[in-house]
Amino acid sequence: MNAYRIVGTPQPQIDARDKVTGRARYTDDIRLPNCLHAAILRSPHASARIRAIDTARAIALPGVRAVLTGADFERTFGVLPISKDEPALARERVRYVGEPVAAVAAETAALAAAALALIAVDYLPTTPVLDVRQALRPTDDPLHPELSHDNNLHKQVEQCFGDPEAGFAQASVVFEKRFSFPSVTHAFTEPHAVQVEIDGRGNLTVYSATQVPHYVHLALAQVLDIDEHRVRVIKPHLGGGFGGKSDPFPHEMIAARLALVTGRNVRLRFSREDVFFSHHGRHPTQLTMKLGFHPGRGITALTGDFLIDGGAYGSFGVVTTYYNGVLLQGPYPVPNFAFRCRRMYTNKPMCGAMRGHGGVNPRFASEVLMDMALVQSGLDPCQARIDLIHRENTLTINEFRITSVGLKRGLEEAMRRSDWRDKYGKLPYGKGIGVACGFFISGSALPIHRNRRPASTVRLTLEFDGAVTVYSGAADIGQGSDTVLAMMAAEVLGVDLGQVKVVAADTRLTPVDLGSYSSRVTFMAGNAARNAAIRMRRLLVAAACRLLELPAPEYRAPAPPEDRFRQGGRSPDFDADFLGANPDYDDGFEFADGRIRHLGSGRETGFLAAVHAAIEGPGVLQTVGNYRPPKLGGSFKGAGAGLSPAYSFTAFIVEVSVDPDTGFVKVDKATCAHDCGFALNPLAVRGQIEGCFHMGMGQALMEEVLHDNGAVQNAGFLEYKIPSPFEQPEIDLVPSTSDESEGPFGAKEAGEGPLAPVIPAIANAIFDAVGVRLFELPLRPDRVLAAMRKATAR
Amino acid sequence: MNSGIDGAQPDAGAVRLLSLAVNGQRQQRAVAPDITLLDFLREQLGLTGSKRGCDLGECGCCAVLVDGRPMLSCLLPAADLEHSAITTIEGIAAGTALHPLQQAMIDEGAVQCGYCTPAMVINGVHLFASEPRPDAEAIRTCISATSCRCTGYNRIVQAFERTAERFAEEQP
């Protein structure tokens, strides 16, 4: 039962009213005075040398204030320090259709567009590299010669744990299949946009539709070669990200440079076509996976060989290359495990992070193979999965520390609620039910930039008027992170949610937070907010004790961990005022209804009276909370990839109808068990799971970015079809909670993990319906029909 | 690349004077012949509640009511709307009183990033004005006019159903 007033109860987003009335302000809604309009000229070629760019006619056009080319940017950039390979504007060569080549700032958008037409670029087209097989071939002209590879390899990762060959020898069933995954993209609704405000001292305020204000801040200073303190990045309301806004982007560098060059404010926004050119979506993947299974032993071995298509630049690709392999270490034990993943450069828009980053395509493969193995072994695919799921407090073979696991009970309940036993294998031809499981990180335990700063810091103030303000660098991208931070502060301080204000994602006002990716915000910024609020509570308790003439309570210092497993097997960092992981704040007082009451004596004072008493000395009440992940992981190369302080677990049971005449698949119903620890905001958790289902079903059944000679062919929402309300099924959410001792109030992630199992659950349901397995996405009607005809012909 | 004329001073030779009502207020503005209603609202009137998602009539985020009917403002030349009455998302609530659908969208968790929300509300307001008790099919048809990538639509459908129930209770 929920012992809390606010956390654990369904709460609408604190800015929902602004959103339903049109008051919410997104980046392109800002109106800066005397603003120039910027436009970007993009490459029409997938691969070409730039012999010359003539900007004379453009700059001569009245009203044009500046024209930039690659010569105006010395430094390349990238979200990962190990692959800063992307120029703000192409230099010497272009590597994909749509790559920014030149940019203009003019008094009006129409003038800027007219000026683009006056820029003459002399291209010498060269032969593009369009797929990963071609990229593997030796060449003396790779996309990125600086890597000194004789082909277009970007990153290769190989890891091996245990003895896969011995593991396969122990198996009673071995399946090996080739899988193929196309390009899919985020399809968020708000196109990228940026506006730059410049002041008289040359300071830049950059409003950007970004998930990572801090990384944008760092990249701007580096690329523009200005002091970091001259840059301030603000994320206004943001219209969806899903990983597609989690890199610093060329257009941010371009707009800022234009502001510096002209001394004027600058506005720039993308068309929908620009968004498809920019992409950063899920990597197209070719993979061969082999799974060995034994009914008594579980998975005996798992191996994978991945070729992933990175497109023209690095983005998060090095991480993706690891994640494709290492995120197979759950939700079941894999004692013998090896993979090789190669990320190739091709002349297409770059791929990067997309919801479920790196773990989605391999999850499809492993859960389909798992299903085949369980069916072949005569086991119930649902019950067998329940039996195999990781136990709590497990160390995986690659040294991931698995702590809380609530999925066993959850999947049992989902099995009951979906009437699995009455349906599996018993539905009429054309109807089927399938299951798949997955797991995901709650934030990465290691930062992208190696430093000793906390992963998340929150500053909290309490003013004379009782207003609690949470200052957090975390970026609310529509998932409701501002709301959940406010909820935690309100809970600890016993105030109404409305009394908590949130100032977020402003790199001048808010402490550093690494951003909204890898499902880190609720866990990490959440812990920081909770700790800041606990410290504030202590200030108020001290003041209340003075007012009530009570002795101040003694706070227990965090005990040295008895359970070294929970500390990653090492001693924790005990700073002088380290509160411990998810610290208890039971101090003998009750904060509620504007009162602070001492439970022992029943004496009480007003909340505001305590605030006024506490504020007398310092003049302002301010506290700070941090989160640092525990030290985790092994010492082998690449041991940091996929390390997280906690992992979420998900299972989906999906029911489908397959039309035997057309192969058209309709999802009729889904039942989900998602272990997000303690659901801080059940309304938001439900929203994340339903949103994950939508995106997963889209990838399963219909979504595919098509290219012709490297050019995106379906750069719009009519041709890149995502599921409509008619395709989305009812989703029954069953309780599947656990108590994660390091998560804030016991919480883990909910925003990404639920996506991956959706796709194999649909595929496994198709098998139950019509008896065919498909290994290539999307599961289009023509492919399903062809497989059914092939099966019938056999 | 970018279409529309953001914040542009209209070309003096081509402007015409446009009279229309926006959210009940009469407006008289000079507009260029190629300016869309969306640009007119966002750039000339500063009403940024109507969202730009594609400029091609595909995402539906720019929907407004034109003489009571939902239209995609990114596809309409403003100059064609002489004497029309436009209602944008800013004009839906009556003062501080939200339309029941707006309140239901909040309460049911139908709002995530919020970028599609104005258009969802605009279309819904029209639906409930013309059919206070829409069936499930009509609700989904109405919602499918706008692309939403966050919610999976379930909570939005729920908000519409709650609104329909509320109208049914009020006028049994």
User: Confidence class of residue B3 from pLDDT cuts 50, 70 and 90?
Assistant: very low
Give yes or no: residues B35 and B78 share one domain.
yes
Whether A687 shows a pLDDT value over 90: the answer reads yes
Whether A571 shows a pLDDT value over 80: the answer reads no
Residues 630-689 of A with CB under 8 A from B: 683-684, 686-687
**A609-660 residue pLDDT tens:** 999 999 999 999 999 999 988 889 999 999 999 999 999 999 999 999 999 9
Give yes or no: residues A90 and A221 share one domain.
yes
Q: Among residues B71, B91, B111, which one ends one of the domains?
A: B91
Whether A561 shows a pLDDT value over 70: the answer reads no
Q: Is A270 within 8 Å of A255 (Cβ atoms)?
A: no
The alpha carbon of residue B162 is apart from the nearest alpha carbon of chain A, in Å, by 15
Q: Is A782 within 8 Å of A389 (Cβ atoms)?
A: no
Q: Does A183 fall in a domain? A: no
Whether A199 shows a pLDDT value over 90: the answer reads yes
User: Confidence class of residue A3 from pLDDT cuts 50, 70 and 90?
Assistant: confident
Please state the rounded mean pLDDT for residues B153-161.
98
**A470-507 residue pLDDT tens:** 999 999 999 999 999 999 999 999 999 999 999 999 99
Reported in sequence order, the residue ranges of chain B that DSSP labels E, i.e. its strands, are 16-22, 25-31, 63-66, 69-72, 85-87
Q: Does B7 fall in a domain? A: no
What's the CATH code of the domain at A607? 3.30.365.10
Q: Is A468 within 8 Å of A666 (Cβ atoms)?
A: no
Q: Output the pLDDT for position A77.
A: 98
Give yes or no: residues B62 and B82 share one domain.
yes
Q: Output the pLDDT for position B171.
A: 77
Q: Does B1 fall in a domain? A: no
SS (H, E, C) A678-701: CCCCHHHHHHHHHHHHHHHHHHHH
ipTM of the complex as predicted: 0.96
Q: Does B11 fall in a domain? A: no
Give yes or no: residues B57 and B106 share one domain.
no
Q: Among residues A582, A599, A627, which one ends one of the domains?
A: A627
Please state the rounded mean pLDDT for residues B85-103.
97
Give yes or no: residues A684 and A596 share one domain.
no
Contact A114/B at CB under 8 A: no
Give yes or no: residues A536 and A672 share one domain.
no
Of A39, A108, A189, the CB nearest to B149: A189
Give yes or no: residues A434 and A457 share one domain.
no
Give yes or no: residues A258 and A385 share one domain.
no
Q: Does B55 fall in a domain? A: yes
Give the angle A309-A637-A146 at the CA atoms, nearest 5°: 50
Q: Among residues A573, A605, A627, which one ends one of the domains?
A: A627
* Best to test chain A binding among B2, B58, B103, B125 (most A CBs inside 10 Å): B2
Q: Does B3 fall in a domain? A: no
User: Confidence class of residue B6 from pLDDT cuts 50, 70 and 90?
Assistant: very low
Nearest CA in chain A to B145: A724
Give yes or no: residues A488 and A426 share one domain.
no
Give yes or no: residues B26 and B85 share one domain.
yes
User: Confidence class of residue A576 from pLDDT cuts 50, 70 and 90?
Assistant: low
User: Confidence class of residue A578 from pLDDT cuts 50, 70 and 90?
Assistant: confident
CA nearest neighbour of A230 among A248, A205, A252 = A205
Whether B8 shows a pLDDT value over 60: the answer reads no
- Give the CB-side neighbour count of residue B127, counting CA atoms within 13 A: 27
Instruction: Compare A259 and A453 and report the one with higher pLDDT.
Output: A259
Indicate yes or no: CB of A271 within 8 angstroms of CB of B107: no
* Best to test chain B binding among A14, A19, A273 (most B CBs inside 10 Å): A19
Q: Is A367 within 8 Å of A289 (Cβ atoms)?
A: no
- Give the CB-side neighbour count of residue B155, counting CA atoms within 13 A: 32
Contact A239/B at CB under 8 A: yes
**A75-93 residue pLDDT tens:** 999 999 999 999 999 999 9
The alpha carbon of residue A400 is apart from the nearest alpha carbon of chain B, in Å, by 30
The alpha carbon of residue B46 is apart from the nearest alpha carbon of chain A, in Å, by 8
Q: Output the pLDDT for position A557.
A: 74
Task: Spell out the residues 6+ positions from residue A441 whose beta carbon is closer than 8 angstroms to its own.
Answer: A327, A518, A519, A642, A643, A644, A647, A648, A749
Domain that holds residue B78: 16-91
**A721-736 residue pLDDT tens:** 999 999 999 999 999 9
Instruction: Compare A451 and B4 and report the one with higher pLDDT.
Output: A451
Instruction: Compare B10 and A765 and report the one with higher pLDDT.
Output: A765
Peptide bond into A729 cis (omega under 30): no
Tally the domains of chain A.
Answer: 3
Q: Does A691 fall in a domain? A: yes
Give yes or no: residues A654 and A759 share one domain.
yes
Give yes or no: residues B74 and B113 share one domain.
no
Q: Does B10 fall in a domain? A: no
Other C-beta atoms within 10 Å of A599: how many?
12
Indicate yes or no: CB of B6 within 8 angstroms of CB of A691: no
Averaged confidence pLDDT in chain A:
96
Q: Output the pLDDT for position B170.
A: 86
Residues 143-202 of A with CB under 8 A from B: 186-191
Whether A167 shows a pLDDT value over 60: the answer reads yes
Q: Does A157 fall in a domain? A: no
Nearest CA in chain A to B140: A725
User: Which residue(s) pair with A156 in the sheet?
Assistant: A342
Give yes or no: residues A789 and A649 share one domain.
yes
Q: Does A182 fall in a domain? A: no
User: Confidence class of residue B9 from pLDDT cuts 50, 70 and 90?
Assistant: very low
Q: Output the pLDDT for position A580.
A: 77
CA distances from A201 to A31, A204, A205, A216, A599 (A): 21, 9, 12, 21, 55
Please state the rounded mean pLDDT for residues A666-676.
98
CA-to-CA distance for B156 and B149, rounded, in angstroms? Answer: 12
Give yes or no: residues B81 and B27 share one domain.
yes
Q: Is A627 within 8 Å of A511 (Cβ atoms)?
A: no
Indicate yes or no: CB of B102 within 8 angstroms of CB of A683: no
Please state the rounded mean pLDDT for residues A653-674.
98
Tokens 């992208």 belong to residue: A448
Give yes or no: residues B115 and B150 share one domain.
yes
Give yes or no: residues A432 and A552 share one domain.
no
**A279-337 residue pLDDT tens:** 999 999 999 999 999 999 999 999 999 999 999 999 999 999 999 999 999 999 999 99
Q: Does A27 fall in a domain? A: no
Written as one string, the DSSP assignment of A607-665 is HHHHHHHHHTTTSSEEEEEEE-PPP---SSTTTTTT--S-EEEEEEEEEEEE-TTT--E
CA-to-CA distance for A13 and A197, rounded, in angstroms? Answer: 29
**A204-228 residue pLDDT tens:** 999 999 999 999 999 999 999 999 9
CA-to-CA distance for B153 and B149, rounded, in angstroms? Answer: 8
Task: Spell out the residues 6+ positions from residue A427 whose beta carbon is closer than 8 angstroms to its own.
Answer: A433, A768, A769
Give yes or no: residues A385 and A406 share one domain.
yes
Q: Among residues B45, B68, B91, which one ends one of the domains?
A: B91
Domain that holds residue A650: 354-445+641-793
CA-to-CA distance for A200 and A177, rounded, in angstroms? Answer: 62
| Mode of pairing for the β-strands spanning A231-234 and A298-311 | unpaired
**A236-263 residue pLDDT tens:** 999 999 999 999 999 999 999 999 999 9
**A371-428 residue pLDDT tens:** 999 999 999 999 999 999 999 999 999 999 999 999 999 999 999 999 999 999 999 9
Contact B145/A at CB under 8 A: no
Q: Does B130 fall in a domain? A: yes
CA-to-CA distance for A230 and A202, rounded, in angstroms? Answer: 7
Give yes or no: residues B144 and B87 share one domain.
no
Please state the rounded mean pLDDT for residues A546-574.
75
Output phi, psi for A56, to 5 deg: -60, -45
Contact A117/B at CB under 8 A: no
Give yes or no: residues B146 and B166 share one domain.
yes
What's the CATH code of the domain at B119? 1.10.150.120
Q: Does A322 fall in a domain? A: no
Q: Does B5 fall in a domain? A: no
Give yes or no: residues B81 and B64 share one domain.
yes
Please state the rounded mean pLDDT for residues A137-141.
96
CA-to-CA distance for A610 and A292, rounded, in angstroms? Answer: 64
Q: Does A775 fall in a domain? A: yes
Other C-beta atoms within 10 Å of A429: how many?
10
Give yes or no: residues A75 and A197 share one domain.
yes
Contact B56/A at CB under 8 A: yes
Give yes or no: residues B106 and B160 share one domain.
yes
- Cβ contacts of B113 on chain A, cutoff 8 Å: 188-190, 237-240, 477-478
Q: Does A589 fall in a domain? A: yes
CA nearest neighbour of A677 among A342, A385, A439 = A439
Give yes or no: residues B84 and B120 share one domain.
no
Give yes or no: residues A440 and A467 share one domain.
no
End-to-end Cα separation, chain A, in angstroms: 55
Task: Spell out the residues 6+ positions from residue A261 whose beta carbon is closer than 8 angstroms to its own.
Answer: A66, A68, A72, A105
CA-to-CA distance for A478 and A470, rounded, in angstroms? Answer: 18
Indicate yes or no: CB of B47 within 8 angstroms of CB of A22: yes
Please state the rounded mean pLDDT for residues A773-792.
97
Indicate yes or no: CB of A37 within 8 angstroms of CB of B6: yes
| Helices A407-417 and A381-388: angle between axes, nearest 10 degrees | 160
Written as one string, the DSSP assignment of A112-164 is HHHHHTT-EEEEEE-----SHHHHHS--SS-S-GGG--SSSEEEEEEEEES-H
Tokens of A458: 């929150």
Tokens of A52: 């010359």
Contact B161/A at CB under 8 A: no
CA nearest neighbour of B86 among B54, B38, B124, B131 = B38
CA-to-CA distance for A280 and A319, rounded, in angstroms? Answer: 13
Q: Output the pLDDT for position B167.
A: 92
CA-to-CA distance for A162 and A152, rounded, in angstroms? Answer: 31
Tokens of A319: 């991480």
Q: In percent, how much of chain A has pLDDT > 70? A: 97
Whether A564 shows a pLDDT value over 90: the answer reads no
Eight-class DSSP state of A171: -
- Cβ contacts of A31 on chain B, cutoff 8 Å: 46
CA nearest neighbour of A274 among B17, B53, B99 = B53
Q: Among residues B43, B63, B91, which one ends one of the domains?
A: B91
Tally the domains of chain B.
Answer: 2
Contact B53/A at CB under 8 A: yes
What's the CATH code of the domain at B48? 3.10.20.30
Give the angle A468-A472-A473 at the CA atoms, nearest 5°: 160
CA distances from A247 to A86, A243, A280, B131 (A): 11, 8, 9, 45
CA-to-CA distance for B139 and A672, rounded, in angstroms? Answer: 25
